[in-house]
């Protein structure tokens, strides 16, 4: 090959490499959130920017055909409960459905990205015990009447024991729990009753 041919080949090779590098750099600078969105998420959660971006990646992995990379325009996207509960952090949890429903705005388990971030923030190790208590109360309040009644406790116990107790044993344990924790004698647990009970737990 003559010198001119080698120069042309090197030029095209270098140009191609330069173009690939440029595209890579542009891809790495893809804007996912605005500064305002980052600040909002950080104000309301216990996450850093890097952790928020990582959560967005987790959310997007569940439905890449639905969830865009660019969230600067606040897309109206909700992922269904059936997808969320497949995550490793949830799929073995007996309360997975209730957890997701509790953090969803619509109460049916369809999570926006903001709902998704709130859920992981509240369940994270850095979340204070007081906040975890608030959400535990909501999760155990199956009928959503702002009290934990015996029926709620029975459902909770059945999930915890995976149905290994007889109905009579479940009723006995729940009656005892209400008897010990119900401070105002209305036969159900208010949040104050529940909080007091949790505070005494080891």
Each residue's pLDDT tens digit, 143-191: 999 999 999 999 999 999 988 999 999 999 999 999 999 999 999 999 9
Residue 41, C-beta contacts closer than 8 angstroms, at least 6 positions apart: 33, 47, 52, 114, 117
Take residue 96 and report the two structure tokens written for it. 């997975």
Model confidence pLDDT, tens digit, residues 86-101: 999 999 999 999 999 9
Model confidence pLDDT, tens digit, residues 38-50: 999 999 998 999 9
pTM (predicted TM-score): 0.81
Take residue 65 and report the two structure tokens written for it. 């055909």
Strands (E), the chain: none
The CA-CA-CA angle for residues 166, 157, 84, to 5°, reads: 125
- Domains of the chain by range and CATH? 32-123 (1.10.238.10), 129-200 (1.10.238.10)
Q: What is the pLDDT of residue 162?
A: 87
Confidence of residue 74 (pLDDT cuts 50, 70, 90): confident
């Amino acid at each position: 090959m003559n010198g001119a041919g080698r120069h042309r080949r090197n030029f095209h090779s270098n140009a191609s490499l330069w173009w690939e590098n440029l595209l890579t750099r542009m891809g790495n600078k893809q804007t996912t959130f605005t500064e305002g969105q980052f600040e909002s998420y950080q104000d309301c959660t216990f996450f850093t920017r890097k952790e928020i971006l990582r959560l967005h990646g987790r959310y997007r992995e569940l439905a890449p055909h639905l969830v865009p990379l660019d969230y600067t325009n606040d897309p109206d996207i909700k992922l269904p409960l059936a997808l969320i509960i497949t995550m490793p952090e949830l799929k073995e949890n007996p309360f997975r459905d209730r957890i997701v429903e509790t953090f969803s705005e619509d109460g049916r388990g369809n999570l926006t990205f903001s709902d998704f971030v709130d859920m992981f923030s509240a369940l994270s190790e850095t979340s204070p015990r007081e906040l975890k208590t608030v959400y535990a109360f909501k999760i155990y309040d199956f009928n959503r009447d702002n009290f934990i009644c015996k029926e709620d406790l029975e459902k909770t116990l059945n999930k915890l024991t995976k149905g290994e107790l007889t109905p009579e044993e479940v009723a006995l344990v729940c009656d005892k729990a209400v008897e010990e924790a119900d401070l105002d004698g209305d036969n159900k647990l208010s949040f104050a009753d529940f909080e007091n009970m949790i505070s005494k737990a080891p």
